[in-house]
Structures are given as structure tokens and as C-alpha cells.
């Protein structure tokens, strides 16, 4: 059934809303998930559903048209959304942090005018850090050189989600190559800026469908923009990116929790009904062992993400914990997806069950906001400096 957020008083009725989202995921979003896989496109009718449901403005402050939910209130909802198509999950995840945080904390009065439009789903933003020939830190090559009251941008970004449909692009570039970590800045570039081209890249293994499955290259060739496109003080871009990534990595941990829980639920349901040689799979010790391992990992991940979420809500640093949640999350969902496929057997390899699609989508979080090796580097750095 369609979900109308106006029927709920948030955050007071947060648990009733979460249950309604869980039903909405299965009744409205799961059929769209199948359509995305068949057409490799996100259908236009999905956007009004997401807008009406309120899923695009859960954490946005109330003064900008959101509900101002804490992350302890929001993450159980993201967990439910993560149980359907990965592209739908990614849209909800990014809309509730990645695409508005910098405008909210660092943006000018003019840039903050975008916040209500982002909350309503009428303005789309792409967040562009990754480059084709570098990592995602001090070796970034994109430059934004001062020329009077303008900045001239040169360089490329790639694997950028929502790029084919975005209205505004948050990019990170070197404004002072001699200043080390203080030489990076963040800019908000409008679609259609002269010298800025968006180039589609090949479709992806999972998270299929425009606008995310068709990731893109952003190509800047002497793109001249006013200095007012800077987000926050010049030289603060790297700090902004790292702050943004902390909560986004925790969001990925919650995503992996939702996916892993659904792999477990589907496996239990199938094992209790599938009979071979006169016994259900659930009666076989080997299957019981797999389900026990899945349930244990899911419980551990739930406790990890809950702990980190409480730190975020209290305003405490969580860089180490967020990286741990993403790292343990992707390992949990990897093992859960492997076991779920094994329990479902040959039918799990077909599209009879959602296992096949979910198996591919579960590989997306590996690469979002940094590979496992990057997470380990972040964790080690935080541990060693303490």
C-alpha cells in the first residue's frame, strides 16, 4: 500500500512509521525493484512514492522541511529500506546525509536555499570525490585555480552516483597545491556550467538502473565558476569530506545490517519449507550451522551500529567506529549472501527468488565510501594515535 507520511506525527510515532515503511518496502518498492532489474532504469513513478512516503527528508532539520530525526530514529528505517533494491536504498541513504550535510553546516545563505528543495526531492545533488587516476585523499588531482573572482576547474571525477540526473554537483578540488591537507576545497557546481561535461560509464554489477547504476565521469576543462560556489572556507574541503564520510560509512553498516537480516529471513523461510529425502533443510545440521552463524553475525553488527549511532547522536567522534561498522558490515553481508545462496541451492541462482539480485547488490557497499583496505587504514590510524 502507498505510504503517506502525513498520517504520522514524527518523531513521536516513529515505531508505527517504521512498521509502515517495512510494509511499504514489500508492497510498493519490491515490485519496482523487479522493474528496475528488467528495464535497467528507475521508473518515474518511484519518485512521487518516495516523496509522499517522507523517506527523502527524515534527518533534514525541520526548518528546511524535514522531520529532524536523530540517527537512532532514522537508522531502523534505513535498515528496512535496505531490504529492497540497492538503488532505492542508496537514494534514501544519500538524501538523508550525503547530499545536504555540507550545505547545512558550511553553506552560504544562498546555498542553504537548496535545502528545502533537496528535502522535497525536487533538487538532486551528486557528491563527487573519487577520481580515475588517484585515491580519494591527498593525491586528488582536480584543481580549482583562482582567477580574480572566479575559479577555473580542471580534472575528472568518475563512478559518480546520480550524475546523469543531478542538478548540483558537490566536488572536491585543490585550490592550493602547496598547502597539503589545507589545500583542498569543496564547491557546488550547477549542471550545465560551461566546460563541464557528464559522460555515462558502463552499467554496474549491482545497484542497477539510472540514476545510480549508470554511474558517470565528470569532465572539467577550464570550467570557470564564481568563487561563491565554494562551500565553506577555502581550504576546508578535506575536513568536510571526512566529516561527511563518517556518518555515510555508518549508514553503509546499517545497509549491510538490513541486507544481512533479509538474507537470514529468506534463508530461514526457505529452509523450513524445502524438503529433501523426507526432511526439511531446517532439520539438517549443516543448514542449522549456517543459520546460526548468520544470526550471530547479524546480532553483532546490530550492536556495533547501535553503539556508533549513539555516539553520533551525542555529537561524539565516531570515525573509528564508523569505519569498523562498514568493515564488519560488508564482511557480514558477504558471508550471509554466500550462505543464503548455498541454502537456496540452484533456485537461488535464478530470478525465482530475490537472492540473485540481492547477492549482486550486496557487493556495492564494498566500494562505497572506500574499500576495506581504506577502512582498515582509518581504524589503525585512529587506534594508534589514541
Span 323-343, pLDDT tens digits:
999 999 999 999 999 999 999
Positions of E strands within 114-183:
125-128, 143-147, 150-160, 168-174
Every domain of the chain with CATH number 1.10.540.10 lies at 10-120
What is the value of pTM for the model shown?
0.94
Alpha helix (H) residue ranges in the chain? 14-24, 30-39, 46-53, 71-81, 86-93, 101-106, 109-112, 115-120, 237-273, 285-313, 319-344, 355-361, 372-384
What string of DSSP letters covers 331-378? HHHHHHHHHHHHHHGGGGGSSSSTHHHHHHHTTGGGTTTS-HHHHHHH
Query: In this predicted model, what pLDDT tens digit does every residue of 179-192 receive, in sequence order?
Result: 988 999 999 999 99
d(CA 316, CA 284) in angstroms, rounded, equals: 46
CATH 1.10.540.10 fits 10-120, yes or no: yes
| Per-residue DSSP letter, 61 | -
Class of domain 238-384: mainly alpha
Question: What pLDDT does residue 48 have?
Answer: 93
Every domain of the chain with CATH number 2.40.110.10 lies at 125-233
- Pick the more confident residue, 302 or 181: 302
Question: What pLDDT does residue 137 have?
Answer: 73
Predicted confidence (pLDDT) at residue 211 exceeds the cutoff of 60 = no
Every domain of the chain with CATH number 1.20.140.10 lies at 238-384
Range of lowest pLDDT (109-123, 166-180, 195-209, 274-288): 195-209
Average pLDDT over residues 272-290: 97
Predicted confidence (pLDDT) at residue 366 exceeds the cutoff of 90 = no
Task: State the cell numbers at 33.
Answer: 525493484
pLDDT band at 210 (very low <50, low <70, confident <90, very high): low
Predicted confidence (pLDDT) at residue 136 exceeds the cutoff of 90 = no
Do the Cβ atoms of 159 and 171 come closer than 8 Å? no
Task: Name the packing angle between helices 319-344 and 372-384 (round to 10°).
Answer: 140
Domain made up of 125-233: CATH architecture: Beta Barrel (2.40)
The catalytic residue positions are 369
Predicted confidence (pLDDT) at residue 212 exceeds the cutoff of 80 = no
Do the Cβ atoms of 232 and 186 come closer than 8 Å? yes
Amino acid at each position: 500500500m502507498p505510504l503517506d507520511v502525513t498520517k504520522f506525527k514524527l518523531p513521536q510515532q516513529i515505531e508505527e512509521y517504521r512498521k509502515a515503511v517495512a510494509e511499504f518496502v514489500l508492497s510498493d518498492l519490491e515490485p519496482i525493484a523487479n522493474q528496475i532489474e528488467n528495464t535497467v532504469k528507475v521508473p518515474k513513478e518511484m519518485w512521487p512514492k518516495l516523496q509522499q512516503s517522507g523517506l527523502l527528508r527524515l534527518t533534514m532539520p525541520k526548518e528546511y522541511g524535514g522531520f529532524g530525526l536523530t540517527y537512532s530514529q532514522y537508522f531502523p528505517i534505513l535498515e528496512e529500506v535496505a531490504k529492497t533494491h540497492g538503488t532505492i536504498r542508496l537514494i534514501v541513504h544519500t538524501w538523508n546525509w550525503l547530499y545536504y550535510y555540507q550545505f547545512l553546516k558550511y553553506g552560504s545563505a544562498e546555498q542553504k536555499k537548496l535545502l528545502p528543495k533537496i528535502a522535497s526531492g525536487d533538487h538532486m545533488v551528486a557528491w563527487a570525490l573519487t577520481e580515475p587516476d588517484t585515491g580519494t585523499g591527498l593525491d586528488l588531482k582536480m584543481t580549482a585555480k583562482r582567477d580574480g573572482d572566479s575559479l577555473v576547474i580542471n580534472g575528472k571525477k568518475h563512478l559518480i552516483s546520480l550524475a546523469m540526473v543531478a542538478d548540483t554537483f558537490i566536488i572536491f578540488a585543490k585550490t592550493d597545491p602547496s598547502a597539503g591537507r589545507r589545500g583542498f576545497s569543496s564547491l557546488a557546481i550547477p549542471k550545465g556550467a560551461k566546460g563541464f561535461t557528464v559522460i555515462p560509464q558502463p552499467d554496474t554489477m549491482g545497484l542497477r538502473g539510472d540514476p545510480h547504476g549508470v554511474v558517470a565521469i565528470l569532465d572539467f576543462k577550464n570550467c570557470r565558476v564564481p568563487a561563491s560556489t565554494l562551500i565553506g572556507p577555502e581550504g576546508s574541503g578535506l575536513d568536510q569530506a571526512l566529516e561527511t564520510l563518517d556518518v555515510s560509512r555508518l549508514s553503509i553498516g546499517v545497509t549491510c545490517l538490513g541486507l544481512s537480516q533479509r538474507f537470514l529471513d529468506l534463508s530461514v523461510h526457505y529452509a523450513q519449507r524445502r524438503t529433501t529425502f523426507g526432511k526439511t533443510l531446517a532439520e539438517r545440521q549443516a543448514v542449522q550451522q549456517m543459520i546460526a552463524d548468520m544470526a550471530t553475525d547479524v546480532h553483532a553488527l546490530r550492536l556495533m551500529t547501535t553503539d556508533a549511532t549513539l555516539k553520533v547522536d551525542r555529537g561524539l567522534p565516531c570515525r573509528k567506529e564508523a569505519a569498523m561498522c562498514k568493515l564488519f558490515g560488508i564482511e557480514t553481508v558477504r558471508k550471509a549472501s554466500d550462505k543464503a545462496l548455498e541454502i537456496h541451492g540452484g533456485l537461488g541462482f535464478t530470478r525465482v527468488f530475490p537472492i540473485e539480485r540481492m547477492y549482486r547488490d550486496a557487493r556495492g557497499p564494498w566500494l562505497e565510501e572506500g574499500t576495506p583496505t581504506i577502512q582498515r587504514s582509518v581504524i589503525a590510524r585512529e587506534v594508534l594515535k589514541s
